[in-house]
Amino acid sequence: MSDTIKTLETDILVIGAGPAGLKAAETLAAAGQSVLVADAMPNPARKFLMAGRGGLNLTHSEALFDFIARYGEARGWLAPTIRQFDPQDLIEWCHALGEETFVGSSGRVFPKSFKASPLLRAWLKRLNEKGVAFALRHRFTDFDADGQAQFTTAEGPVSVKAKAIVLALGGASWPKLGSRGDWVATLQAHGIAIRPFLPSNMGVLVNWSDHIVPRFAGEPIKRVTLTHGKQVARGEAVLTQTGLEGGAIYALSASIRTALQTSPTTVLTLDLRPDMPEKILIERLQQPRGKASQSTFLHRAAGLAPIGIALLREACGGPLPQDALALARMIKALPVTLTGCAGLERAISSAGGIMRDAVDEHFMLKAMAGVFVCGEMLDWEAPTGGYLLQACFAQGYAAALGVTHWLNTPSAS
């Protein structure tokens, strides 16, 4: 390896080849800028491809007002960004790449191929046609005294001189796919305020007994309503060896994480039969059981699957209540004690990052002129359902517009 620093030059340097970075690169290249995208991984958009393994959920079809509300505390500053590149814009962008979309029964929007790889191939082809260059296996380390970005590579150190830089280095979830959060100390040293990363859209930990895990680990708990504090989510959860995960769990992740920051445990409540009123459930449970086993009776009378019955027994720690009222109330409000959150290494996304006050309305760092940030580097979070990708695309687009605005400002240097 050589110690000589190789210097590259470009109009715009984008660091990070995820959806936010690639969207920024595409927008700037379309505006006539020469763009270089640098990334530490050997291939672009590794996490994007992982997201598409179970069906790429691009965005959501609900009304824009409701859509924006999903961003919680960040909705105020994200609203104009989302409106600037909204779900319909993302759908049309996808169509322009030759990938038709469809709306699922839940309102989520997917490419008809249901995969990320065809869309990514078409996107990279377009970027290549627009002249976007890539420097892969380039790991960002710092800025030098002149503001040039520094990288380590297998061939030696590299310095990139650019008119403006877009940072799209991701958060800290799924680090093996590239989002390691190792840029935090570097930016803090430059005076950037950063909130520590925490898991978001993550699984939760439960101290299951030895009886339930061998039979039911990996089994879905279908059509349930989960309640944590004032937050309610309906959908599906999956019982794992260490706890619970799945869409309904992820929807409550922020509330659960906050509670566990101040207490060693917190209680999640499951309604195993959300479509059956308690009164009707009681009437059914009052029917004669006859010679049927308790499991058979609960399946017949209450419509409970074996995993639901197992959860009831887990909560009771012994025999189930014989009284129909008590049993019905447990079915409608089954308590599960949570002991922690799964770690960042398996979380779908992360909370925390560069604080909003550290960037201006154009996504430029206030402490570093000409350096823009977008995507999961910033302190915001959203539930699964298309909201994560939509905001990353929208922020990449907004950061690119911010670069253009800054370059056209007479005082820009």
Q: At which of 341, 368, 391 does a domain end?
A: 341
* H or E segment to which residue 88 belongs: helix 87-96
| pLDDT single digits (tens) 187-232 | 999 999 999 999 999 999 999 999 999 999 999 999 999 999 999 9
Amino acid symbol at 2: S
Query: By C-alpha distance, which of 188, 177, 233 is closest to 352?
Result: 188
- Whole-prediction pTM: 0.92
Query: By C-alpha distance, which of 331, 333, 323 is closest to 281?
Result: 331
Amino acid symbol at 139: R
Residue 247 inside a domain? The answer is yes
Q: What is the mean pLDDT of residues 262-275?
A: 98
Q: At which of 341, 364, 394 does a domain end?
A: 341
Q: Determine the pLDDT at residue 410.
A: 81
Range of the domain at 25: 6-200+349-407
The confidence band for 2, taking pLDDT boundaries of 50, 70 and 90, is: low
Tokens of 118: 């065809």
Q: Determine the pLDDT at residue 390.
A: 98
Residues 379 and 325 in one domain: no
The chain-wide mean pLDDT, for the chain, equals 95
Q: Determine the pLDDT at residue 52.
A: 67
Q: Determine the pLDDT at residue 290.
A: 87
The confidence band for 53, taking pLDDT boundaries of 50, 70 and 90, is: confident
Q: What is the mean pLDDT of residues 266-275?
A: 98
What is the distance between the alpha carbons of residues 214 and 138, in angstroms, rounded to a whole number? Answer: 44
| pLDDT single digits (tens) 4-32 | 889 999 999 999 999 999 999 999 999 99
First to last CA, the chain: 34
Residue 412 inside a domain? The answer is no
Residues 264 and 330 in one domain: yes
Residue 400 inside a domain? The answer is yes
Number of structural domains, the chain? 2
CA 7 to chain centre: 35
